[in-house]
A = this chain, B = another copy of it.
């Protein structure tokens, strides 16, 4: 056990598996364990495949370890419909840090997410905060809507881009430029770097009036350890900024987290109910028989599903 973390990693891994397998059944554990801990630094790392996110994560872990900080990493993979789990093996990533008792790494699939965000990801981050990790890193491998949602719970999002990935509007097409708190131009020794930086700068300028925090651009070559200290400085600046200006940001993130969690919980309950009433089977049979259509079905759903909020005695 690492001194400032109040749970050994074996128990933590077991608890995470329990949550992944049965979230509702783990609710009491989560209620008991939850502790606000605003000292934890939560970093999100996202960007297109091939941008070098894993190498960057690896180097950031080392930087924090040099400072004696404990680091927890959650890597979110789009799920495989076949395996139903995270594809990126923990084995591949753990190897470098396997003997370091201050680092905990876990891959999680996003399967079963009903609210768009992998709900267990929030739980796991909350647990790791509660038990006292200094730094948490969430890394996503996709660049879609669910990844944007995942990133919305991180305090500081690094968007990792790489020169020469695509055509002129590659950057725009990624569609996630706006969630970046820090732009990391990785593999900055490759051709096309200046052009990419110019493009990113243009986007920052275009949106300047909307920012409270104007995202800086940092160049790195993660595999050669270049640019890491500049990046760490920017992360540290961002956190200082959050401490003095971040109460709105924090409130938004809590609100967003509540909405995602509520949607997931309610969605699961309702899906279970509709499944057990065989509503979907009936709709599908009717549609295939030409007796109905999806929009009449939705109309029926709206008419027949009764939803009420009733405050009960606690």
Contact = CB atoms under 8 A, between A and B. Distances in A.
A142 B141 contact: no
Nearest to A283: B258
B267 A92 contact: no
For this chain, the copies found in one complex come to 2
A126 B49 contact: no
Nearest to A146: B145
20 contacts: A49-B173, A50-B167, A80-B175, A81-B179, A92-B169, A110-B145, A116-B146, A126-B294, A142-B142, A142-B174, A146-B146, A258-B284, A258-B297, A263-B267, A266-B266, A266-B305, A269-B302, A270-B307, A303-B312, A304-B311
B308 A165 contact: no
A228 interface: no
A226 to B, nearest CB: 18
A27 interface: yes
Interface stretch (A6-14, A30-38, A94-102, A235-243): A30-38
A274 interface: yes
Closest A-B pairs by Cβ, 4 of them: A144-B144, A142-B144, A50-B166, A78-B175
Interface string A139-150: 011111111100
Given A170-B50, A178-B80, A307-B305, A298 B261 contact: yes
A257 interface: yes
A301 B144 contact: no
Interface stretch (A57-65, A66-74, A213-221, A285-293): A285-293
A251 B118 CA distance: 26
Interface residues on chain A, size class: 35 or more
B269 A307 contact: yes
B267 A266 contact: yes
Nearest to A50: B166
Interface of A: 24, 27, 30-31, 34, 36, 48-52, 77-82, 87-88, 92, 110, 113-116, 118, 122, 126, 140-148, 165-167, 169-170, 172-179, 207, 210, 250-251, 254-255, 257-259, 261-263, 265-267, 269-271, 273-274, 277, 279-281, 283-284, 287-288, 290, 293-312, 314
Contact of A81 (B80, B148, B166): B148
Nearest to A88: B173
A308 B269 CA distance: 11
Contacts of A287: 36, 254
Nearest to A253: B284
Interface centre among A24, A80, A250 (most CB of B within 10 A): A80
A258 B280 contact: yes
A55 B113 CA distance: 32
Contact of A312 (B80, B146, B304): B304
A199 B49 CA distance: 16
B30 A82 contact: no
